[in-house]
Amino acid sequence: MSLKIAVLIKQVPDHEAIVQIGADGTLDIEDRYVCSFFDEIAIEAALDIRKAHADAEILALSVGGKRSVESLRRAMAMGLDQVEQLGDDSMDGADGLGVASLIAARLKTFNPDLVLAGKQAGDDDMGAVGPMVSGLMGIPLVNAATAIDVDADGGKVRMTHSMNGETWTVESGFPVVVTAQKGLAEPHVPVVMRVMKAMRAKIINTSTEDLGVSAADSTGRLKRLGYYSPPTRPQVQMVGDVNELVAVLAQRGVI
Amino acid sequence: MACNEIWAVARIRDGQITGAGLQLIEAARELAREKGLDARAVLLGCDRATADELAGVVNGVLWLNDERLNEYDAAVHAGALFGLMEARGKPVAIFAGTNDTDSEVVPRLAAMCGAAFASSCVKIRWEGDDLAIRRPVFGGKVYEELALLSRPAMVTVRPGAFDGAQKLAAPGSVEEISVEIPASSGVTVVERASSAQGGQDLSDARRVVAGGRGVSGESYQKVEALADALDGSIAASRALVDAGERPHEQQVGKSGKTISPDLYIACGISGAIHHVLGMNTSKVVVAVNSDPDAPIFAAADLGMVGDVMEILPALAEALRARK
């Protein structure tokens, strides 16, 4: 049996990109976008699995407008050859459930054994899409996996993840949604040749209409009221010795 | 069908309500009070003693007394909560924790019933009749405020966002409810091992001592000794985790854990933004570093410049002397 894997990815601002609140209250985001950190780990995990299962069929999916295409080109440059953009820029304001609904609709026909996604995206840090896809499809979920071992012939997969202070080794049959934590795989930097090739590739698009999902249904549950600066701390108080430090900590009631 | 309640999903550890669990109950109590709603704790499985203990801090406990809920299974727990909604009506909101189990269960449940979901909330308030939550985005570079427009609204709350609920003058009631429990999703636990911090969940720890490049190798023992003197947990910066010296579950920062303890002591950590984003919601931050210009001091309340190898044992000693 040939193994079928779906990888869910998203393009987000780089870790180092400057993100600040503009004068009009919206965000100014520096134009440095990359494939989300945990999503690249998911891509690499899929490539690792293919090393042991050469006939594995891997489909990378990304939802939204032109940025989703950029993340798919990254996936191609890293070594995936089957990628697909779902929807268009009308999906860029979608919430997690909107995105998950579109993906679940596409996965119905792809029929994967394994769905890999990052544990959260580097922009909204919501951690919604992976678990929501599992809920919509009614299939098992293992969040934030740090190890994965696929037994395609036995029809099962074994994973390790951290669960509230313990390390759990769990086993699931197919299909299963697994989200990637740091440590699951080490993403490699693609070679220039592949990057160039991916730049020229034609990216397949499947529209919301084709999938029977309305972009209008992908919003309306959440309404953004505004952005705020992170809480700041007062100027640091320097202390000279440990007894003084202990006295201040006692005074603040934390020891 | 709807019910005028806010549910706090109680997570129990070794028969005790966790600190974060008490904070969830406080969140439900505060927000319910403002609108004349009822706060309820939902207990999945467990025993009568735990249900009674919960009733000490909340007016009503909805106890799903079914042993099939004792072992965690994301699909079973989500399904049981779905069943509770069918049986009792949809609550106004469901509050759960930002922890490894609820981070699976709650978004899965939200998908099952088409509800609005927001994770890692640090503030919750009413905006008219809707709940508005504040949460960090872009790794904490900014915070967003979202109104959740569905019923129920589903929220995971960060530890430290609320104070723990105080005991009630008179205990609340425990209502045993039987709901349809779905079959297991097919995820079976093969092995459970307590991790490096002896099974303590870093996200729940009230006091944390973290080490960075300045305490690599054997020097890290000084961090452990100080954590021991504080009854606290140990953590590490990305430098030590990437070097393979510390396990990933101890990493604090953007690609690791985000924690909000009462006390966070950063030892030999330079204070890169990646690290600060994981700990800047701590109540009191102490930085100990040999470099007076280290950026960590900008993220700290209290700072000490000097040799970490000397300061840490002296601090541990001073803390022990105080006991």
Question: How many CB atoms lie under 10 A from the CB of residue B72?
Answer: 19
Q: Locate tokens 């994965």: which residue?
A: A148
Residue B130 lies in a domain: yes
Rounded-to-integer distance, Cα B31 and Cα B4, Å = 12
Handedness of CA A200, A206, A208, A209 (dihedral sign): positive
- Asked if B9 and B127 sit in the same domain, the reply is yes
> B284 and B149 share a domain?
no
Torsion angle, CA of A190/A191/A196/A200, rounded to 10 degrees? -40
pLDDT score, position B197:
54
The pLDDT-based confidence of B103 (bands split at 50, 70, 90) is very high
In this structure, is residue B65 part of a structural domain?
Answer: yes
Name the closest residue on chain A to residue B297, using Cα atoms. Answer: A236
Using a CB-CB distance cutoff of 8 angstroms, which residues of chain A are in contact with residue B160? Answer: none
How large is the average pLDDT for residues B36-57?
96
| Average pLDDT score, chain B | 93
What is the CATH number for B259?
3.40.50.1220
Q: pLDDT class for A177, splitting at 50, 70, 90?
A: very high
Together in a domain, B247 and B285: yes
First to last CA, chain B: 55
Where residue A199 falls among pLDDT bands split at 50, 70, 90? very high
- In contact, A146 and A164? CB cutoff 8 Å: no
Q: At what angle do helices B220-229 and B308-322 cross, to 10 degrees?
A: 20
Please identify, among B134, B161, B176, the residue that sits at the C-terminal boundary of a domain. Answer: B176
Taking the mean position of all CA atoms in its chain, how far away is CA B319? 26
Domains in chain B, number: 2
Higher pLDDT, A24 or B14: A24
Question: How confident is the model at residue B198, as a pLDDT?
Answer: 56
B169 and B290 together in one domain: no
Give A146 to chain B, closest Cα distance, Å.
Answer: 9
- What would the pLDDT profile of A19-73 be if each residue is shown by its tens digit? 999 999 999 999 999 999 999 999 999 999 999 999 999 999 999 999 999 999 9
The answer to whether position B196 is within a domain reads: no
Which chain A residue has its CA at the smallest distance from B264's CA? A254
Widest CA span of chain A, in angstroms?
69
Average pLDDT estimate for A148-171: 94
Single out the residue in B137, B159, B176 at which a domain terminates: B176
Quote the CA–CA distance of B287 and B296 in Å, as a whole number: 6
User: Are B225 and B269 members of one domain?
Assistant: yes
CB contact under 8 A, A128 and B142: no
Residue B150 and residue B51 share a domain: yes
- Whether the predicted pLDDT of B47 surpasses 70: yes
pLDDT-derived band at B16 (thresholds 50, 70, 90) equals confident
**Which of B160, B280, B135, B140 has the alpha carbon at shortest distance from A225?**
B135
The whole-angstrom distance between B171's CA and the closest CA on chain A is: 28
| Cα–Cα distance, B310 to B49 (Å, whole number) | 47
Within 8 A of B304 by CB-CB distance, chain A residues are 238-240, 242, 245
Q: For residue B44, what is the domain's CATH number?
A: 3.40.50.620
Q: How confident is the model at residue B203 (pLDDT cuts 50, 70, 90)?
A: confident
For residue B202, what pLDDT is reported? Answer: 86
Percent of chain B beyond pLDDT 70? Answer: 98
Q: Test A221 with B112 for CB contact under 8 angstroms.
A: no
| Average pLDDT rounded to a whole number, residues B96-106 | 96
Q: Do A250 and B104 touch (CB under 8 A)?
A: no
Write out pLDDT tens, residues B128-178: 999 999 999 998 889 999 999 999 999 999 988 899 999 999 999 999 999
Q: How do residues A209-234 score in pLDDT, each as one tens digit? A: 999 999 888 999 999 999 999 888 99
User: Are B212 and B72 found together in one domain?
Assistant: no
The answer as to whether B188 is a domain residue is no
Which pairs from B270-276 meet CB under 8 Å and 24+ separation?
B270/B212, B270/B213, B270/B237, B270/B294, B270/B295, B270/B296, B271/B295, B271/B296, B271/B297, B271/B298, B271/B299, B272/B237, B272/B238, B274/A15, B274/B139, B274/B238, B275/B212, B275/B237, B275/B238
CB B118 within 8 Å of CB A127: no
B43 plus B136 within the same structural domain: yes
Token pair, residue B5, equals 């309640």
Chain B contact for A251, CB < 8 A?
no
In one-letter notation, the amino acid at residue A107 is: L
Chain B partners of A100 at a C-beta cutoff of 8 Å? Answer: 111
User: What is the residue range of B235's domain?
Assistant: 202-322
Q: Tell me: do B10 and B156 sit in the same domain.
A: yes
CA–CA gap between residue A160 and residue A167 (Å, rounded): 7
Which residue among A19, A141, A176 places its CB closest to the CB of B141?
A19
Helix, coil or strand: residue A34: strand
Q: Is residue B292 part of a domain?
A: yes
B194 within a domain of the structure (yes/no)? no
Residue B253 and residue B299 in one domain: yes
For residues A171-190, average pLDDT: 97
Asked if residue B223 and residue B112 are part of one domain, the reply reads no
Asked if B146's CB is within 8 angstroms of A222's CB, the reply is yes
Task: Please report whether residue B193 resides in a domain.
Answer: no
Q: Round the CA-based radius of gyration of chain B to a whole number and report it.
A: 21
Q: Distance between CA atoms of A109 and A59, rounded to whole angstroms? A: 12
Q: Tell me if the bond preceding B261 is cis, omega within 30° of 0.
A: no
pLDDT > 70 fraction of chain A, expressed in percent and rounded: 100
The answer to whether residue B200 scores a pLDDT higher than 70 is no
Do the Cβ atoms of A164 and B188 come within 8 Å?
no
For the segment A75-100, the average pLDDT, to the nearest whole number, is: 97
Last residue of a domain, one of B159, B176, B193: B176
Whether B199 has a pLDDT exceeding 70, the answer reads: no
Q: Which helix (H) or strand (E) holds B108?
A: helix B102-113
Chain A residues with CB-CB distance to B298 below 8 A: 236
Q: Do B190 and A158 touch (CB under 8 A)?
A: yes
Specify whether the CB–CB gap between A116 and A7 falls below 8 A.
yes
Q: What confidence category does residue B11 fall into, taking pLDDT thresholds of 50, 70 and 90?
A: confident
Tell me the domains of chain A and their CATH numbers: 4-226 (3.40.50.620)
DSSP output for B205-271: -SEEEEE-GGG-GGGHHHHHHHHHHTT-EEEE-HHHHHTTSS-GGGBBSTTSB----SEEEEES---
Averaged pLDDT for residues B211-233: 95
- B20 and B134 belong to one structural domain: yes
Residue B182 in domain: no
